[in-house]
Amino acid sequence: MNARIEADAAFTDWMQHVQAGMEGTLDAYLPAVTEIPARLHQAMRYTALDGGKRVRPLLVYAAGELFEAPEELLGRAAAAVEMIHVYSLVHDDMPCMDDDALRRGKPTVHVRYDEPTALLVGDALQAQAFAVLSGNVEEQYAARQLKMLHLLAQAAGSTGMCGGQAIDLASVGMTLSLAELEQMHRLKTGALLRAAILLGACSGKHLTVVEQAALEAYSCPISLAFQVVDDILDATADSATLGKTAGKDAADNKPTYVSILGLSESQALAEKLRNDAHKALEQFGNKARRLHELADLIVQRKA
């Protein structure tokens, strides 16, 4: 019991350390407001700094620990993945997509600034992500960086996150099967979470085919669990606060795990996925403890 409490405290400390460190890393890798055009840089900083759970950077660092990755590469990888994530949120919130007014407790970029600025903030963050990831570190790391660039580009593009978003937009008002819903989330949210894990691993010493397969076997269930829990939180938050039985996606006529499976089956699915994630890490032993703890966090989170 005591050992478990100590482990939890150590995990919380580690998590807060990574989250606080990310603030400084992003600050360093985002263009300064003193650079022209100041307003665009201000808007990029407004949306990327001081907010979010930083789940993807946490995954980068947790996977990096397994492969003795150097801090410099991990920081670049974590910042790049978070910049892609933030860009996707800025675009997703725009009137042509989800049309949301609030994100991370603040007015969305198109509300706080304007729509053209929101478009450019997303575009510029995406470009900045690749600039940061390809930044000059040391010649000995060039091959790792090239692999990481390729992984991130694939995760962000039309066969990854953008493709998932396209399927999501096309699914409004449609009845999706569970397999189709899974395929959509595997691309929309899963591709970037998988990339975070693999970028962390690739930052370190050589990753074997077997190790990569194990990390992929971990990334699949945690990605789906992330989405299942998101749907559960969405549904239960709305039912508590608005007296509805379904959340925003369902209200927007989008299929969700809760709308297809119901609440208790969705909760059971999240538990099953958490167990699958733990099982996938068996070969790494205690070295993968942060990844185990992040799987638990993803399923147990309340926001």
Is the separation of the CB atoms in 122 and 91 below 8 Å? yes
Query: Rounded to the nearest whole angstrom, what is the least distance from the CB of residue 167 to ligand GRG in the complex?
Result: 11
Residue 17: Cβ within 10 Å count: 11
Looking at beta carbons only, is 188 or 290 nearer to ligand GRG?
A: 188
Asked whether the beta carbons of 63 and 291 are under 8 A apart, the reply is yes
Find all residues with CB under 8 Å of 113, minimum gap 6, and list them: 39, 43, 46, 121
Could you say whether residue 162 binds ligand GRG (CB under 6 A)?
yes
CB 193 within 8 A of CB 62: no
User: What binding mask, one character per residue, do residues 125-144 give for ligand GRG by CB under 6 A, x or -?
Assistant: --------------------
Is the CB of residue 128 less than 8 Å from the CB of residue 113? no
Of the candidates 65, 92, 238, 293, which one interacts with ligand GRG according to CB under 6 A?
A: 92
- Would you say 58 or 198 has its CB closer to ligand GRG? 58
Stretch that binds ligand GRG, among 52-60, 107-115, 207-215, 271-279 (CB under 6 A): 52-60
CA distance 284 to 302: 28
248 binds ligand GRG (CB under 6 A): no
Judged by CB under 6 A, the number of residues near ligand GRG is 16
Binding status of residue 290 toward ligand GRG by CB under 6 A: no
Contacting ligand GRG (CB under 6 A), which of 91, 110, 194, 274? 91
Question: Smaller CB distance to ligand GRG: residue 165 or 267?
Answer: 165
CB of 185 vs ligand GRG, minimal distance in Å:
8
> How many helices and strands in the chain, by DSSP H and E?
15, 2
Counting beta carbons within 10 angstroms of the beta carbon of residue 18, is it exposed (0 to 12), middle (13 to 18) or buried (19 or more)? Answer: buried
Q: Which is nearer to ligand GRG, 40 or 222 (CB)?
A: 222
Q: How far is the CB of 285 from ligand GRG (least distance, A)?
A: 28
61 or 204: whose CB is closer to ligand GRG?
61
Helix (H) or strand (E) holding 103: strand 102-103
In whole angstroms, the minimum distance from the beta carbon of 140 to ligand GRG comes to: 32
* DSSP structure string for 66-85: HTT--HHHHHHHHHHHHHHH
Residue tagged 């410099």 (tokens):
72
3-state DSSP assignment of residue 247: coil
Q: Angle at CA 127, nearest 5°, toward 121 and 128?
A: 85
Span 165-184, contacts to ligand GRG by CB under 6 A = 165
Binding site for ligand GRG (CB under 6 A): 52-53, 55, 85, 88-89, 91-92, 97, 104, 161-162, 165, 188-189, 230
